[in-house]
A = this chain, B = another copy of it.
Amino acid sequence: MMTAKTLSIAEICTLLGLGPDVAADVSAKIVRVSGFADATVDSVVFAENRAALQDALRSAAGLILARSDDGTHDARLLVVDNPRYAFALCARALGQTRSGSEIHPAAVVDPTATLGERVRIGPCAVIEAGAMLGDDVEIGSGAKVLAGARLGDRVVLQAGAVVGATGFGYVRNPTTGEHALFPQQGTVVIEDDVEIGANSTIDRGALGETRIGRGTKIDNLVHVGHNCSIGRNVLIAAQVGISGSCVVEDGAVLAGQVGLGDHVSLGPGVILGGSAGVFPGKRLEGRGEMFMGVPAEPLKQYLKTMARVRRLGRAGGSGKES
């Protein structure tokens, strides 16, 4: 059973760690987060800059989160350091709560699987033999948790995601050229608060385990190969491909379509720009340092190289091949 929540502005102030001496009218009740266009008197909206604040003030919202009051004296304003983050916290606090599990009758849950409390499993989702799901897990329509995979609390699998498929490890017979499957009998562990996007695939380990660390968020159509170890609070954007046995440490950020060869290692907080590629066995380090290109190099170096390459292309002459 689902219950929607209502918060007073006073409660929102507490949630955001603000004292009661704020400008806003603390008596109003808020029930939803909204964009400007569809805001109503019981909506909270946010404004990250001056222009957005003007839009917010013109909206019907009952509460406006903004970085500064910008000289405006509107009782709906609440000044916060990070309006976008405060807005996300409000959304979470206003979210529906669930008092029991909801297993869709068209979901398929193996009798040997173990489910925590308040689990939600959508239609045509499959939970195979021996899989373990923690509390408050959400499994989207048609997602698959394969045999023996283990999911922590509050893990979200979006529609069509597959956790625990056989890794891609083969040994070539040098005489016949045939490929024999290397045994893929390991496990996969998804820690608490991990979210995995639609149609993404996380393979299980060959002999050991594949592990996705607590709080890591993974977008759609991402591939994580066998025996990878992904740290905590990592962000992995759509269509990233991580080959087998990679290590990605805490807080790293991988933009869309990044590719890591096998046995790549990324230090804590490393950032890889869109479409960057790292060759097998390499290690990149530097908290907050951005790498770009294939093979990936530090941003500053990449931009310098790019500028010179393009200058080459623009230099006089025919450009014909020698």
State the A residues within 8 Å of B (CB).
33-35, 37, 82, 84-85, 87-89, 91-92, 104, 106, 108, 122-124, 126, 128, 140-142, 144, 146, 158-160, 162, 165-166, 168, 170-174, 177-183, 185-186, 193, 195, 197-201, 203, 207-208, 215, 217, 219-221, 223, 225, 232-233, 235, 237-239, 241, 243, 250-251, 255-257, 259, 261, 273-275, 277, 279-280, 293-295, 297, 301-315, 319-322
Q: Which of B257, B305, B320 contacts A259 (CB 8 A)?
A: B257
Complex contacts, A275 vs chain B, CB 8 Å? 259, 277, 294
Nearest CB of chain B from residue A274's CB, rounded to whole Å: 5
- Nearest-CB residue, chain B, relative to A45: B207
Complex contacts, A207 vs chain B, CB 8 Å? 33-35
Q: Which of B201, B293, B310, B321 contacts A305 (CB 8 A)?
A: B310
The copy count of this chain in the complex is 3
Is B237 a contact of A243 with CB atoms below 8 Å?
A: yes
Of all A-B residue pairs in the complex, the 6 with the closest CB atoms, nearest first, are: A305-B313, A35-B207, A91-B183, A304-B319, A108-B123, A165-B198
Is A235 a contact of B170 with CB atoms below 8 Å?
A: yes
- Nearest-CB residue, chain B, relative to A214: B178
Is A160 a contact of B158 with CB atoms below 8 Å?
A: no
**What's the Cα separation between A193 and B182 when bound, in Å?**
15
Kindly name the residue among A89, A146, A162, A221 whose own CB sees the greatest number of chain B CB atoms within 10 A.
Answer: A162
Is B179 a contact of A217 with CB atoms below 8 Å?
A: yes
**What's the Cα separation between A302 and B201 when bound, in Å?**
31
**Sample of 7 more A-B contacts, CB < 8 Å, known A144-B159, A165-B197, A243-B256:** A37-B208, A85-B171, A106-B108, A126-B159, A128-B141, A168-B217, A238-B243
Is A162 a contact of B198 with CB atoms below 8 Å?
A: yes
Nearest CB of chain B from residue A6's CB, rounded to whole Å: 16
Complex contacts, A158 vs chain B, CB 8 Å? 162, 165-166
- Nearest-CB residue, chain B, relative to A221: B223
Is B319 a contact of A88 with CB atoms below 8 Å?
A: no
- Nearest-CB residue, chain B, relative to A106: B108
Complex contacts, A251 vs chain B, CB 8 Å? 177
- Nearest-CB residue, chain B, relative to A123: B108
Complex contacts, A319 vs chain B, CB 8 Å? 303-304, 307-308
**What's the Cα separation between A208 and B89 when bound, in Å?**
19
